[in-house]
Structure 1
């Protein structure tokens, strides 16, 4: 353009190529949007088809759980000796005289067989702080010691592997205040001899 017309300012009129670039940009955005939607839909389809397998696996794991053990219908017989079958040596580990004989007499009244009565050996003499200690062979831990323990519930129970014979010792300690009441001791003996249900093996349902 020439003559009297002059172009002023820092802006120039846009030409047609700029419009084409705008269309191309809009087309690119649309394509990206379509691809994004297609990708999202693909993921949803994958989850839809694989989710069933996961659910079935979880269901199978839930079904394959151990069932609680149930008591056996047939009670197990418990062989517990009677007091008349238990020989007890009554030994005094305290400084109180006559305690062993008095306790031995009471045990005899309750049906026990009494063996030796006297002072405790050096390993126990004046060294038992509790009510007492019951000592017997290894086999007595689940037989004669529980029977004798019914008469003195607070006594400690020990086994001696080199011990000879089936007799058990009742060693009286400083905390001894007497045998259990006879009614309580008889109730404990009855519970020891009562049949007990045995739990059945745990089963799994799959």
Structure 2
């Protein structure tokens, strides 16, 4: 073996050892390990479930906030056809002028995020930190025309990114 080849192997070996040391130091000194989890959550703040759900795992109540009869039943059928679990349908007491209002609690954050895409992020959000169930109330408003298509939902989800814990709550640890 020539001297040049031995020298090249020594240099490559030293670079490999330095890279290994660098990786070990970076992992040991990592300060972001618990970022975003409930470890640094203030006392009394609710844990928000920020897991993006599949439609079959999302429970909703569809409410009609318009004077258009039968709107909640029609939209509830659309959601059922898209594999959502529709628990109730009915009428809202007061009129809603927006496209829709999504009412949810800490356990419904991921579900509400998915539903945002079905309204192309044009729905208003009504987060209630005291709500204990994982059901999302979908209140249809006067500006509602139709649910987004599958392609539009996928594009909207890409634009929305990952679910985020609402202000005043902490993301739930992944194993929790």
TM-score (norm. length: structure 2): 0.57
Aligned to 1:149: 116
1:90 pairs with 2:51: no
State the secondary structure of the residue aligned to 1:115.
strand
Query: Per-residue CA shift, 1:79-112, capped at 9, x if unaligned?
Result: 4111111101000010000100100111111121
How far is 1:193 from its partner?
7.8
Q: Which runs of 5+ in 1 are unaligned?
A: 1-77, 195-206
Q: How many equivalent residue pairs?
A: 112
1:140 pairs with 2:108: yes
Query: In structure 2, what is the Cα distance between the partners aligned to 1:152 and 1:99?
Result: 15
TM-score (norm. length: structure 1): 0.50
- Name the Cα RMSD after superposition: 2.1
1:114 corresponds to which of 68, 86, 93: 86
State the secondary structure of the residue aligned to 1:150.
helix
Q: Which runs of 5+ in 2 are unaligned?
A: 1-49, 163-176
Query: In structure 1, what is the Cα distance between the partners aligned to 2:157 and 2:100?
Result: 19
State the secondary structure of the residue aligned to 1:166.
coil
